[in-house]
């Protein structure tokens, strides 16, 4: 009876141990694959197939697959691909301050009307706002008066010329009339120039003289083509030349700035004039191009990063100030290196990267590799593989799971 109890107890203990061992093997496989659904599938396939055959040859773990298991693995030769030598950074878009103008009123006055708002695109010469200018009113009045004096002196001179021919007046009187008329002509030219300074055209000046009507409305136009970035005025506000802040700010948006902070370790490989490519979340399928225009003279002692600035071409006016962007700088000529698809690599628990190499497309040997840049779904291999070697380009996680099961079962 005692022996029977011992046998039952021992049997229960063995059963619990077997269940714990199986659960542990499953957990190891799940952790190695990162918990993806493909791991569960791989375990199911391994369980349904013949026993896993694993070995350690020359210190490298190997897995031998049967025909059913081979269907889950794709094998290809390692190829060579060109990988550019690039540095990446993150930054933001800003207006090109070298192409930004502050629009002030040229003369004192009160704002009558504003014609644009922030975000509007304007052309060179387009009216931004108008002001009621006492200075323009004075200039117009002087113009009208000068035109009237010239008209009067011209008529007087014409009459004196007729009288002089009949000897009705002395020559000195005629000469004085000629002098007065010439003085009036000069005064009118000066008056026209004074009004022209306010932006009036010759046709508008002629109309003022013809109508004998002074207009105090001063038009303030944009001096460049661009986008309104700020507006600091409203109707009725008294403005003065150079008074801060400017009524308007207008930026030329044919080019924008890309401001980025690069790591101190990358400083030696960055130079003015280098080509850059900018990617933005707003335009995931588009790349903007430009060149580095400015490199600051100091590195931030806290972040150990350096600010650089690039001029980015934006002919379609798609960029907006403040946009988050990724900045790629080409620092050297492309290099050719072995590369494998991303699905052909497995990140191990210690952080190393491994791939599975085969010579007969049945037995696969695990090999540690050193990776480099990523491009078009491929990962550059700096060390560990040679062009032409056969590797598992799809199903590497399955092979790692098979190895884990085999090791657990052994």
- Among the three residues 217, 246, 275, which one is the final residue of a domain in this structure? 246
Q: What is the extent of the structural domain holding 396?
A: 2-80+335-409
| pLDDT for the residue numbered 408 | 67
8 and 39 both lie in a single domain: yes
User: Residue 130 falls within a domain, yes or no?
Assistant: yes
Q: Tell me, yes or no, whether 217 and 305 share the same domain.
A: no
Query: Does an H or E element contain 65, and which?
Result: none
| Cis bond upstream, residue 245 (ω within 30) | yes
Task: Check residue 35 and give its pLDDT.
Answer: 35
> Domain for residue 214, yes or no?
yes
Q: Is the dihedral of CA 360, 364, 367, 373 positive or negative?
A: positive
Q: Please report whether residue 102 resides in a domain.
A: no
- Among the candidates 204, 223, 246, a domain finishes at 246
Rounded Cα distance between 57 and 51, Å, is: 19
Residues 96, 256: contact at Cβ < 8 Å?
Answer: yes
Domain-embedded: residue 112: yes
Which candidate, 126, 304, 148, places its Cα nearest to that of 228? Answer: 126
| Whether residues 193 and 223 fall in one domain | yes
Distances (CA, A) of 275 to 87, 134, 281, 327, 330: 11, 53, 21, 11, 6
Residue with tokens 């109508």: 211
Which SS3 state, helix, strand or coil, does residue 148 take?
helix
Query: CA–CA separation, 350 vs 368, rounded Å?
Result: 12
Asked whether residue 23 falls in the same domain as residue 65, the answer is yes
Q: Are 295 and 214 within one domain?
A: no
Q: What pLDDT is attached to residue 57?
A: 52
Residue 44: its pLDDT value, please? 42
Are the CB atoms for 390 and 357 separated by under 8 Å? yes
**Could you tell me if 237 and 111 lie in one domain?**
yes
Same domain, 71 and 132: no
* SS3 track for 7-19: HHHHHHHHHHHHH
DSSP for residue 362: S
Per-residue pLDDT of the chain (410 residues; tens, 9 = 90+): 434 333 333 333 333 333 333 333 333 333 333 333 333 344 444 444 434 565 655 567 888 888 888 888 999 999 988 887 778 888 899 998 888 999 998 888 999 999 999 989 999 999 999 999 898 899 999 999 999 999 999 998 888 888 888 888 888 888 898 999 999 999 999 999 999 988 888 898 999 999 898 888 888 999 999 999 999 989 999 998 887 789 999 999 889 999 988 888 888 888 898 888 899 988 888 999 999 999 988 888 898 888 999 999 988 888 988 999 988 887 777 888 899 999 999 998 888 999 999 999 889 999 999 998 888 888 999 999 999 999 999 888 888 888 888 776 65
Phi, psi angles (nearest 5°) of residue 51: -60, 145
Do 328 and 356 belong together in one domain? no
Same domain as 139, residue 224: yes
Q: Where residue 24 sits, what CATH number does that domain have? A: 2.40.420.20
Q: For residue 286, what are its two tokens? A: 């588009």
CATH classification at residue 311: 2.40.30.170
In a 3-state reduction of DSSP, which class is residue 92? strand
114 and 132: one domain? yes
**Shared domain check, 170 and 299:** no
Boundary of a domain, candidates 226, 246, 266:
246
Burial of 186 (0-12, 13-18, 19+ CB in 10 A): exposed
- Pair 93, 69 in one domain: no
How many domains does the chain divide into?
A: 3
pLDDT computed for residue 350 by the predictor: 87
pTM of the predicted protein model:
0.56
Answer yes or no: is 237 within a domain.
yes
Report in angstroms the alpha-carbon separations of 373 from 169, 270, 327: 102, 18, 16
| Residue 258 domain-assigned (yes or no) | yes
- For position 17, what pLDDT does the model report? 36
Is 121 within a domain? yes
DSSP assignment of 394-406, as one string?
Answer: E-HHHHHHHHHHH
pLDDT for 30 equals: 31
Classify residue 324: in a domain, yes or no. Answer: yes
How far apart (Å, rounded) are the C-alpha atoms in residues 246 and 242? 7
């Amino acid at each position: 009876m005692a022996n029977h109890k011992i046998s039952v107890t021992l049997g229960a203990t063995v059963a619990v141990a077997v269940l714990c061992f199986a659960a542990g093997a499953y957990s190891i496989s799940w952790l190695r694959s990162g918990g993806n659904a493909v791991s569960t599938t791989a375990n199911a396939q391994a369980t349904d197939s013949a026993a896993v055959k694993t070995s350690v040859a020359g210190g490298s773990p190997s897995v031998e697959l049967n025909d059913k298991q081979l269907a889950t693995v794709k094998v290809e030769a390692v190829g060579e691909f060109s990988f550019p030598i690039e540095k990446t950074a993150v930054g933001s878009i800003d207006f090109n301050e070298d192409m930004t103008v502050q629009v002030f009123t040229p003369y004192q006055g009160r704002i009558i009307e504003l014609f644009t708002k922030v975000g509007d695109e304007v052309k060179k010469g387009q009216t931004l706002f108008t002001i009621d200018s006492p200075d323009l009113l004075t200039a117009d009045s002087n113009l009208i008066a000068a035109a009237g004096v010239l008209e009067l002196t011209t008529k007087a001179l014409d009459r004196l010329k007729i009288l002089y021919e009949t000897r009705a007046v002395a020559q000195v009187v005629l000469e004085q009339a000629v002098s007065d008329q010439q003085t009036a002509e000069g005064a009118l030219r000066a008056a026209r120039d004074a009004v022209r300074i306010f932006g009036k055209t010759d046709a508008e000046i002629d109309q003022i003289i013809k109508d004998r009507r002074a207009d105090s409305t001063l038009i303030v136009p944009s001096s460049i083509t661009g986008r309104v970035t700020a507006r600091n005025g409203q109707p009725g506000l008294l403005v003065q030349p150079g008074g801060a802040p400017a009524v308007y700010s207008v930026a030329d948006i044919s080019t924008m700035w890309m401001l980025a902070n690069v790591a101190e370790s990358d400083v030696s490989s960055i130079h003015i004039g280098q080509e850059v490519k900018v990617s933005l979340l707003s335009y995931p399928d588009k790349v903007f191009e430009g060149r580095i225009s400015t490199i600051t003279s100091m590195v931030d002692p806290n972040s150990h990063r350096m600010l650089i600035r690039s001029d980015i071409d934006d002919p379609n006016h798609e960029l907006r100030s403040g946009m988050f962007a990724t900045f790629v700088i080409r620092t050297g000529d492309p290099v050719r290196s072995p590369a494998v698809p991303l699905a052909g690599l497995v990140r191990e628990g210690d952080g190393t990267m491994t791939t599975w190499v085969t010579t007969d497309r049945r037995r696969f040997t695990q090999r540690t590799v050193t990776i480099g840049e990523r491009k078009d779904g491929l990962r550059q291999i700096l060390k560990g593989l040679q062009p032409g070697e056969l590797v598992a380009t799809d199903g590497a996680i399955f092979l790692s799971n098979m190895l884990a099961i085999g090791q657990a079962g052994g």
